[in-house]
Amino acid sequence: MSLSGLFLLIFLALHLALNFAALFSRELYESVCEFMDTNLLVQIMVPVLAAGFIIHILFSMFVEFKNWTARPRAIAYRVPNKSKALGWESKYMFVLGVIIVGFLVLHLVNFWAKMQLQHFIGGEPENAYDLLIALFKNPYYCAAYIVWFAALYFHVSHGFWSAFQSIGVSNSKWLPRLQFLAKIYAAVIFLGFSAVPLCVLSGLCG
Amino acid sequence: MSETKLQAKIPEGPLSEKWTRYKSTVKVVSPANKRKLDIIVVGTGLAGASAAATLGELGYNVKVFCISDSPRRAHSISAQGGINAAKNYRNDNDSVYRLFYDTIKGGDYRAREANVYRLTEVSNMIIDKCVAQGVPFARDYAGWLDNRSFGGAQVSRTFYARGQTGQQLLLGAYASMNAQIAAGTVKSYNRREMLDVVLIDGKAKGIIVRNLETGKIERYGAHAVVIATGGYGNAYFLSTNAMNCNASAIIQCYRKGAWFANPCYVQIHPTCIPVHGEQQSKLTLMSESLRNDGRIWVPKKLEDVEKLRKKQIKASQIPEEDRDYYLERRYPAFGNLVPRDVASRAAKERCDAGFGVNETGLAVYLDFADAIKRLGIDVVRERYGNLFQMYEKIVDVNPYEEPMMIFPAIHYTMGGTWVDYELQTTIPGLYAIGEANFSDHGGNRLGASALMQGLADGYYVLPYTIGAYLSHEIQTPKTDTNHPAFQEAEDAVKDNIKKILAIKGSQPVDILHKKLYHILWEYVGMARNEEGLKKALGMIEDLKKEFWSDVLVPGTNEEFNQELEKALRFVDYLETAKLMALDALNRRESCGGHFREESQTPEGETLRDDANFMYVAAWEYMGEDQDPVLHKEPLVYEEVKLETRNYKD
Amino acid sequence: MKFTLKVWRQKNAKAKGRFETYRIDGISPDTSFLEMLDILNNNLIREGKEPIAFDHDCREGICGICSLYINGRPHGPDDEITTCQLHCRKFKDGDVITVEPWRSAAFPVVKDLVVDRNAFDKILQAGGFISTTGIAPDANLIQIPKADAEEAMDASACIGCGACVAACKNGSAMLFVAARVSALAKLPQGRPEAARRAKAMVAKMDELGFGACSNTGACEAECPKGVSIAHIARLNREFLLAKIQD
């Protein structure tokens, strides 16, 4: 759970870095896409990344089931638990995860299926930049993506420090520091990813 | 007639060599034979858990019983302050002899010299053992073990783990026991309450227990039975003992022929949180270690007392010159660190004189203002933080700002089952260890010595001495629990339960127990006299009749029934109460925790009568409606010169 | 003060439970919550009803036996206390108070508010000890840095009440296990068995039906002794390192 989570966190950072290319110019973005389509390492990493997602999701389902059996519905509390947990998001990681996966499917259909997948199956990929602009000019899509990133914000703001905690890279001193870093990281992810659709929608680029 | 039964079996030779000589000559049981021998241990406090663990390590088959859901709940867990040992790590001239002397003197010369010397001899090994178990004792900045001072001592010899020493020591013993459970030598039976000891041919061969979850009456057999069920302080209802602590096991043994020694020696601890009202169920102790830095006082002027009771002023507003630090005034040498019995009586004296500081007039102050000024609030917090927090949760007053209110409460019982040097009772094969026996504290126990005694008995004494008995039992086959003696004991237990459930009177057990509290606290409490004790005996008899005609116990035996548990225990408290009053009546002297008003110095201090009462009073049960018979074990002091206890200079 | 109490009643482990409502009056604010239940029970007994079964013992917050889930919080509405240290002054006059047992598949109900926490004993028997057969070397043979001893003490303050499991949405016993593993791992005496201990205790915990830790921190928030989840990080570290070495 934690290791796959950390792997996905690294992926998010890379993806975000590539997105920023779109903010600068069509040429830069297209060359980045070109690189991603042809670089051998990237080609190898794509199935690894997919596996990372699948492991993260399957494992989360397994843990959720195990935890459900530890307190089945039949013996649920009458008064819901009011314990002051570290944040509400920590209790709803699975729900957040389901939301994220839902949007992820939408995202894959919107972009990935029309871009990188075409390379793999030998089809004709669409122009990435055109695709991006066309999609984010639509305010509904824009809003949907921002909702997605918000869910991701909460998921990451817990998942980041939680992953370190779970692999034992934490102690009483570093626990609060990691929790703070988690908020920063989540905020960077949220703001960074939201920047592209917002810029496109507002006409700042494209 | 049977004075011969009271053979203390103290080994020959000089005091300091007795234990060594005993150990080198006592028979041992070979490992192959140990595997064939079963031992029952009842109780899982420090004494019981350490004994079970050690006997298991030695290779015996151990069955250990506790009344709680887990052995770790035993009330040793509540001990706060620390454990004594004569390590002399401070280089303040401590020694085995000094600890021995302090213990004998603290006990007001009513303990057995040889037992006490042995206790102090093994004290150092206890600390070694506990550190090896991972007990996180307090350490100084260099990483060496730290010590603090306790009442009745002029050296720092108390090892501690914050205010949770008992908890940490018990977790150590419990962990060792768990290791043996994992190894298969110890089997643990939780939520089982002993209801009788079974004798075959005069030897202890097993116990009858009630499974508290199902009510099933069960039989367990063994080659020897060890009682480690603690003291009988809960007879008083309000005490610092846990709610489930009870006297039943030792009273059952008493009824079967294990004589009961010195029941009148009850320790009243000076620093407890005062009673708030009739709805109170339990008193909470504030560790004696607080007297290291806290100063005890009451106002000098009665008008200040009036204002305090009306809440017109706060304690902190009373100027220094209007405070009476009565312990420092009366006992300059020891000051606030006088032994517990002395501190308790001094508090009672001030409150009787009308200086009690709360609404009930039954409280004195324990003040940390000076300590905070001297050491800084952080040091005080580090030393006593958890105790202060506990106080604030209960009383709702911040002790960093206002002095604590404290009052004496029943805490520990020095009396208990009579045992010889080998910790064997008057029933062969039946042993009593820890607070359950009477042996080491005389008339008063020093602070931080209960933990020491419990662990000494369990880790280092009983495992050696029990070999003396078991070495003769190696040919004895496993005890057959179908023996008629088990049937008889089980039937008696079942009849008793049936009888109690059938009464269907009008009073719940708690109500009757509170009545017993008032009798005992009033007449068998901090100060006793002949008239009061006789009156108490009559009242106890009446209360017994009241119980057997009017108690109301709901439910059945065949279920988890806490009221039935209480009722069964209460029957035994009545017996305990009678024993305490009889013994107190017999002992027409004051010594340690036993204060007879007829026997005091002009200053109101205890006045011993060594000519007539230098003996252990062991009581033999003679039947339900008869008074027990007194047997005397003379106390012989070879090493220590008898003196009047003096904590003044 | 007066209160309306909604209390979980369950005859035995197999029976189906239900809530019963009771009213109680004339309670002093200084009365503890358990003393209030004592009074209620004595009233019930006099009325010919069955008293409420609940575990209690030391009544000073250290034995860890009391285990009431009051108004949605293990040990009730105050921080760093056990149920026995909860006083009626923490409620408002006339409050409705719901009392439930710890709820966890690993802690079956015995009766009413009493649960079976034998699983904790089993976890500790799996390895929560330092083997010390025989005579030990002198206690001051090894210096232990004060900070390490203090941290071991912080972890060792656990009273085994199970509030962590009761509070955790996953019914996880990680804080309990971590407290013991961490307390022993911090001391030089505990090192030789550290790897075996971490693996054995975690395996036993999983076997006994506790949930997995998802770091919600509810355990720490409800722990009467304030045991920190930083100890869980140490447990995870000990466990992973031990597993890697296999």
How far, CA to CA in Å, does B225 sit from each of A48, B139, B392?
Answer: 65, 39, 43
Q: Which residue of C has its CA nearest to B133?
A: C130
CA distance C176 to C210: 11
Contact state of B182 with C126 under an 8 Å Cβ cutoff:
yes
pLDDT tens for A72-96 read 888 899 999 888 878 889 999 999 9
Based on the fold, state whether residues C196 and C239 are members of the same structural domain. Answer: yes
Domain membership of residue B538 as a residue range:
484-633
Query: Same domain, yes or no, for B404 and B491?
Result: no
Nearest CA distance, C244 vs chain A (angstrom): 12
The CA distance from B508 to the nearest CA of chain C, in Å, is 6
From chain C, the residues in CB contact with A164 under 8 A are 233
Residue C73: half-sphere exposure toward Cβ, Cα within 13 Å: 21
Yes or no, beta carbons of A83 and C73 under 8 Å apart: yes
Of A3, A6, A79, which to mutate for an interface test with C (greatest number of C Cβ within 10 Å)? A79
- Tell me, yes or no, whether B379 and B496 share the same domain: no
Write the pLDDT tens digit of every residue in C41-74. 999 999 999 999 999 999 999 999 999 999 999 9
| A7 Cα to chain C: minimum distance (Å) | 18
Shared-domain flag, residues B497 and B407? no
Size of interface A-C (CB pairs under 8 A): 121
Quickly count helices (H) and strands (E) in chain A: 9, 0
3-state secondary structure of B632: strand
Of C81, C132, C152, the CB nearest to B132: C132
String of DSSP letters for B420-460: -TTSB-SSTTEEE-GGGB-SSSTT-PPTT-HHHHHHIIIII
**Chain A residues inside the 8 Å CB shell of C171:** 67, 70-71
Is the C-alpha dihedral spanning C218, C223, C228, C229 positive or negative?
negative
CB contact under 8 A, C27 and B162: no
C97–chain B nearest CA distance, Å: 19
Residues B615 and B525 in one domain: yes
If 0-12 CB within 10 Å is exposed, 13-18 middle and 19+ buried, where does residue A1 land? Answer: buried
Question: What's the pLDDT band for B643 if we cut at 50, 70, 90?
Answer: confident
Residue C123 · residue B181 · CB < 8 Å: no
What span, in angstroms and rounded, lies between the C-alpha atoms of C7 and C9?
Answer: 6
Mark which residues 41-80 of C lie under 8 Å from B by CB: 41-42, 45-46, 48-51, 53, 55-65, 78, 80
> Between C167, C212, C217, which is nearest A67 by CB?
C212
Chains linked to B by 3 or more Cβ pairs within 8 Å? C
Residue of C nearest to A82 (CA): C72
Q: Do C221 and A85 touch (CB under 8 A)?
A: yes
C214 CA: distance to closest CA in chain B (Å): 28
Nearest-CB residue to B393 (from C41, C63, C81)? C81
pLDDT band for B84, please (50, 70, 90 cuts): very high
CATH code of residue B594: 1.20.58.100
Q: Which amino acid is at C206?
A: D
Residue B390 pLDDT level (bands cut at 50, 70, 90): confident
Same domain, residue pair C26 and C52: yes
Q: Determine how many CB atoms are found less than 10 A away from the CB of residue C232.
A: 29
Count other C-beta atoms under 10 Å from residue A7's C-beta: 18
C-alpha to C-alpha distances, B345 to B285, B342, B359, B360, B522, nearest whole angstrom = 17, 5, 20, 18, 14
What total of structural domains would you count in chain C? Answer: 2
- Residue C99 sits in the same domain as residue C208: no
CB contact (8 A) between residue C233 and residue A82 = no
pTM: 0.95
Strand order in the sheet with C73-74: C18-24, C3-9, C96-101, C68-70, C73-74
Identify the DSSP state of B319.
-
Q: Give domain limits for chain A.
A: 2-68+90-202
Instruction: Give which of B165, B167, B158 is closest to B75, Cα–Cα.
Output: B167
- C124 lies in the same domain as C87: no
Chain C, 99 to 158: residues with Cβ < 8 Å from chain B are: 110-111, 114, 116-118, 120-121, 124-140, 143-146, 149-150, 152-153, 156-157
- Condensed to tens digits (0 to 9), the pLDDT of residues B577-635 reads 999 999 999 999 999 999 999 999 988 889 999 999 999 999 999 998 899 999 999 99
DSSP B353-399: TT---STTS--EEEE-HHHHHHH-HHHHHHHHHHHHHHHHHHH---T
The DSSP bridge partners found for residue B40 are: B63, B225
Q: Do B560 and C78 touch (CB under 8 A)?
A: no
Q: Determine whether the interchain pair C137/B510 forms a contact, defined as Cβ–Cβ distance below 8 Å.
A: no
Please answer yes or no on whether C171 and A67 come within 8 Å at the CB atom: yes
Asked whether residue B575 is assigned to any structural domain, the reply reads yes
Q: Alpha-carbon dihedral of residues C140, C144, C149, C152, nearest 10 degrees? A: -100
- Residue in the block written with tokens 């007039």: B361
Nearest CA in chain C to A77: C103
Examine the fold and report which residue of C111, C134, C163 is the final residue of a domain before the chain moves on. C111
Residues of C in contact with B243 (CB under 8 A): 56-59
Separation of alpha carbons B433 and B461, rounded Å: 9
DSSP 8-state class, residue B2: G
User: The CATH number of the domain where C8 resides is what?
Assistant: 3.10.20.30
Task: Nearest by CB to B508, from C28, C45, C132: name it.
Answer: C45
What's the pLDDT at B204? 98
Is the pLDDT reported for residue B475 higher than 70? yes
Q: Do A168 and C228 touch (CB under 8 A)?
A: no
- Residue B340 annotated as catalytic: yes
Tell me how close the Cα of C160 comes to any Cα of chain B, in angstroms: 8
CA distance C31 to C34: 8
Q: What is the mean pLDDT of residues C98-107?
A: 96
Q: Is residue B316 part of a domain?
A: yes
Q: Do C241 and A168 touch (CB under 8 A)?
A: yes
Give me the CATH number covering residue C191. Answer: 1.10.1060.10
Check CB contact under 8 Å for C239 and A168: yes
HEC readout, chain C: CCEEEEEEECCCCCCCCEEEEEEECCCCCCCEHHHHHHHHHHHHHHCCCCCCCCCCCCCCCCCCCCCEEECCEECCCCCCCCHHHCEHHHCCCCCEEEEEECCCCCCCEEECCEECCHHHHHHHHCCCCCCCCCCCCCCCCCCCCHHHHHHHHHHHCCCCCCHHHHHCCCCECHHHHHHHHHHHHCCHHHHHHHHHHHHHHHHHHHHCCCECCCCCCHHHHHCCCCCCCHHHHHHHHHHHHHHHHC
Domain count, chain B: 2
* B276 → closest Cβ in C30, C41, C56: C30
The minimum CA-CA distance between B435 and chain C, rounded to whole Å, is 17
What is the end-to-end Cα distance of chain C in Å, rounded?
A: 61
Instruction: Assess whether pLDDT exceeds 50 at residue B2.
Output: no
Cα distance between residue B554 and residue B569, in whole Å = 15
Residues B400 and B539 in one domain: no
Q: Residue C234's closest CA among B167, A173, B133?
A: A173
For chain A, list the contacting chains (3+ Cβ pairs, <8 Å).
Answer: C
Instruction: Collect all residues of chain A within an 8 Å Cβ-Cβ radius of residue C119.
Output: none
Statement to judge: residues B512 and B389 lie in one domain: no
In this structure, are C239 and C122 located in the same domain?
Answer: yes
Residue after which a domain boundary falls, among C111, C136, C171: C111
User: For the residues B464-484, what does the mean pLDDT come to?
Assistant: 97
Residue C230's alpha-carbon distances to A169, C221, C234, in angstroms, are 10, 13, 7
Q: What is the mean pLDDT of chain B?
A: 95
Q: Which of B380, B411, B442 is the last residue of a domain?
A: B411
The tokens describing B640, both together, are 């220590």
Q: What would the mean pLDDT of B267-279 be, rounded to a whole number? A: 90
Indicate whether C237 and C125 sit together in one domain. Answer: yes
> Residue C41 in contact with residue C52, Cβ under 8 Å?
yes
CA-wise closest residue to B568 among B249, B189, B228, B199: B249
For C121, the domain range is 117-245
**Structure tokens that stand for B344 in this block:** 């308790």
Chain C CB contacts of A85 under 8 Å are 216-218, 221
Using alpha carbons only, what angle is made at residue C213 by residues B167 and C185, rounded to the nearest 5 degrees?
45
**Numbered residues of chain A with Cβ closer than 8 Å to any chain C Cβ:** 63, 66-67, 69-72, 75-86, 90-91, 93, 158, 161-162, 164-172, 175
CA distance B321 to chain C (A): 33
Measure the CA–CA gap between C95 and C89, rounded to whole angstroms. Answer: 11
CA of C103 vs chain A CAs: smallest distance (Å): 6
For the residues B300-329, what does the mean pLDDT come to?
94
Other CB atoms within a 10 A radius of the CB of residue B502 amount to: 8
Residue B116 has pLDDT above 80, yes or no: yes
The pLDDT assigned to B3 comes to 54
User: Distance between CA atoms of B260 and B618, rounded to whole angstroms?
Assistant: 5
Average pLDDT over residues B467-478: 96
pLDDT higher for B4 or B557?
A: B557
User: Tokens in use for B603?
Assistant: 């200053």
Does residue B493 sit in the same domain as residue B399?
A: no
Chains B and A touch (3+ CB pairs under 8 A): no
Q: Are residues C121 and C107 in the same domain?
A: no
- Residue B12, pLDDT > 50, answer yes
Residues C84 and C149 in one domain: no
The verdict on a CB contact (< 8 Å) between C213 and A69 is: no
- Tell me the chain C residues in contact with residue B163 when contact means C-beta distances shorter than 8 Å: none
Tell me, yes or no, if C89 comes closer than 8 A to chain B by beta carbon. yes
Both B273 and B405 in a single domain?
Answer: yes
Instruction: Give yes or no: residues C39 and C53 share one domain.
Output: yes
The list of chain A residues with pLDDT below 70 reads 206
Average pLDDT over residues B92-113: 95
Residue B4 has what pLDDT?
A: 60
pLDDT of the residue at B625: 86
User: What phi and psi values does residue B63 have, to the nearest 5 degrees?
Assistant: -115, 125
Say yes or no to pLDDT of B484 above 80: yes
A67 contacts in chain C (CB < 8 Å): 169-172, 211-212, 214
Phi, psi of B304 (to 5 degrees): -65, -40
Cβ neighbours of C233 in A, within 8 Å: 164-165, 168-171, 175
Catalytic-labelled residue, pool B219, B295, B340, B608 = B340
Chain B CA closest to residue C84: B394
Both B405 and B501 in one domain: the answer is no
Whichever domain contains B382, its CATH number is: 3.90.700.10
What whole-number distance in Å separates Cα of residue B367 and Cα of residue A23?
A: 69
Residue B2 lies in a domain: no
Chain C residues close to B60, C-beta within 8 Å: none
Residue B1, pLDDT above cutoff 60: no
C-chain CB neighbours of B178 within 8 Å are 121, 124-125, 128-129
Whether C206 contacts C172, CB under 8 Å:
no
